[in-house]
Structure 1
Amino acid sequence: AVIKILEDSPLFNAGKGSVFTYEGEIKMDASIMHGKTLDAGAVTNVSTIKNPIAAAKEVMKTKYILFSGSGAEEFAEENGCEIVDPFYFYTEHQFKRWLQTKDTLGPNKILIDSIKNLQPISYEDNLIVDKNSGTVGCVVLDKYGNLAAGTSTGGLMNKQFGRIGDSPIIGAGTYANNNTCAISCTGTGEDFIRMVAANTASNLMEFEDYTVQQALDTVIQKRFLQIKGDGGMIAVDKYGNISFSYNSDGMFRGSVNDKGEVWVGIYQ
């Protein structure tokens, strides 16, 4: 329910507020995982599912884990998810940012040629990471001791066709295990995939006896230095300890406990 609310808002790069791809389309990803059963579901590169996280939840009910593109959209419609016209996701501010990005890159062929020539892509120069809004995620611990995590995103502004980030990849952008914690990630997806970030943090807790804060800091503040990675993680462990770590300028985050106490943060 939390992620659906965020997807319905134009303020975040997920659902209604998703960024535009290189081709001027909107392609969204989402995933969800249950810590008790390790069941998981995800969708990627979808354009007509109003709430991708709802589709991911439906996938989790099957024997499969990840559906993509038109197949994911057909599956979502068959299982009662709301389908909308792609124009529903259009927002003026993201469209203007995309046009500005295209102008910054120059003629389209410059970026395409760099791909054909197998030259490395600079995410700071060629793919604009949204500094004002971003991927949304949620981690929870219920009264029965079960953990769950979910993540939803529109991806990188001006991303190339077919590109998939970490958000729909279980173990990279989303992970939950009742033995350790639930984690959701945000940032440059390729960095989280390389480090299998969410699962790595969980493994540090399970096999090296790290606390949840130590595990997150080890991944984000230390191991990400190896690849100059950028991003952050939120987590809650099996005891209800809430943690976060990021190496960017800031990360919007908030929490509420069983007493109804609310906390919100942006920077330190």
Structure 2
Amino acid sequence: MEPKIIVHGGAWTIPPERQKAHIDGCREAVERAWPMLQRGASALDAVQTAVNVLEMDPTFDSGRGAVLNSDGQIELDASIMDGRDLNFGAVAAVRRFMTPVDIARKLMETEFCFLVGEGAERFAREQGLKECDPRALVTERELKLFETICNQQGYCTHDAFKPVPQGTVGAVAIDRYGNMAAATSTGGTPGKRPGRVGDAPICGAGVYCDNLLGGASATGFGEGIIRTLMCRSACDYLAQHDAMTAARMGIELLHARVQGHAGLIMLNSKGEYGLFHNTDHMAHAYVLPDGSVHASVHRDA
């Protein structure tokens, strides 16, 4: 089977001066992971690598560059899922590791699925993963946004149509053996309550993958995505619809039931792409049939 990979870097109203960085970052993630798939790497390795690239890129709300919560701290969430056997790993409220998807991947080798906070970080240390100073995650851009939030009463981050970072990242891949994987990683929403967990680490909400159907990764306002289990719902639509239609139906379900705004990337078991968003933009990239990479912030570009 011809391998495929698609990534996203957030669904929101991306200011013009930041669009190129989002496009370039998504392109780089695909360009790093795609050759691995061509050489026979697993879909799991490919999505982990792609998400790592995005976590280390300060453009996005994940890892370095993540938004700050109301205490001025960064708390990261991430997940990864194997479509072969539905194995799943997730972490939440991680503060000292730049690439939390790596912790989630290690967790898949245990009997557990989900660790949070200090427990997740202790596990990461036991696994020999590299710890970082929390200050290494903070960017000047997010410090300025934090000051704006602190000084502006009634500031609302749940508005998809203003330039508030919602740069959650994710990837979905299928390898040459027909196995699929998906991963999602985020810093959450600006000014969130400490301890808040969004959709990214929740199986069926911000990520889902099943070889029998397909895989999906979401980006947007997590509370609505959780309430509709949007990624699982979109994958269920793949039983009767093509990937583009299933992605659109997943977003339409979100908006109809909870008035939510988000973006969604997908692959079905045939290796067909799906993507849809009801925000102004969604940064994304994927491999074209000729091996080149398409990257954009518009679904119709």
* TM-score with structure 2 setting the length: 0.79
Report what 2:295 is aligned to.
264
Deviation per residue, 1:128-171 (Å, 9 max, x gap) = 98645500000001000001000000000000111110000011
Q: Which has the higher mean CA deviation after the structures are superposed, 257-266 or 43-52? A: 257-266
The match for 1:8 among 30, 53, 56 is 56
Contact 1:230–1:247 under 8 Å retained in 2: yes
- Within a 5 Å distance, the mapping from 1:105-116 to structure 2 comes to 105=153
Report what 2:167 is aligned to.
134
Are 2:228 and 1:195 equivalent residues in the alignment?
yes
Are 2:248 and 1:217 equivalent residues in the alignment?
yes
Change (3 A) 1:139 1:201: same
Q: For 1:72, what is the secondary structure of its paired residue?
A: helix
Q: For 1:254, what is the secondary structure of its paired residue?
A: strand
Contact 2:166–2:189 under 8 Å retained in 1: no
Contact 1:11–1:133 under 8 Å retained in 2: no
Contact 2:165–2:189 under 8 Å retained in 1: no
> Over aligned residues, Cα RMSD in angstroms?
2.0
Change (3 A) 1:67 1:130: farther
The match for 1:101 among 134, 149, 152 is 149
Are 2:207 and 1:159 equivalent residues in the alignment?
no
Change (3 A) 1:132 1:166: closer
Aligned residues, how many?
251
User: Identity of paired residues, percent?
Assistant: 34
Q: Please state how far the C-alpha of 1:3 moved relative to its aligned partner.
A: 0.7
Report what 1:17 is aligned to.
65
Q: For 1:105, what is the secondary structure of its paired residue?
A: coil
Q: Please state how far the C-alpha of 1:61 moved relative to its aligned partner.
A: 1.3
Report what 2:44 is aligned to.
none
Are 2:264 and 1:233 equivalent residues in the alignment?
yes
Report what 1:244 is aligned to.
275
Q: For 1:157, what is the secondary structure of its paired residue?
A: coil
Letter in 2 for 1:80: G
Letter in 2 for 1:141: I
> Quick one: distance in 2 between partners of 1:242 and 1:5?
21
Greater RCO (Cα-Cα under 8 Å, separation 6 or more): 2
Letter in 1 for 2:135: F
Are 2:89 and 1:41 equivalent residues in the alignment?
yes
Are 2:182 and 1:149 equivalent residues in the alignment?
yes
Q: Please state how far the C-alpha of 1:257 moved relative to its aligned partner.
A: 4.7
Gaps of 5+ in 1: 112-120
Contact 1:129–1:156 under 8 Å retained in 2: no
Contact 2:284–2:297 under 8 Å retained in 1: yes
> Quick one: distance in 2 between partners of 1:132 and 1:43?
21
Report what 2:158 is aligned to.
123
Change (3 A) 1:160 1:7: same
Q: Please state how far the C-alpha of 1:246 moved relative to its aligned partner.
A: 0.5
Contact 1:51–1:82 under 8 Å retained in 2: no
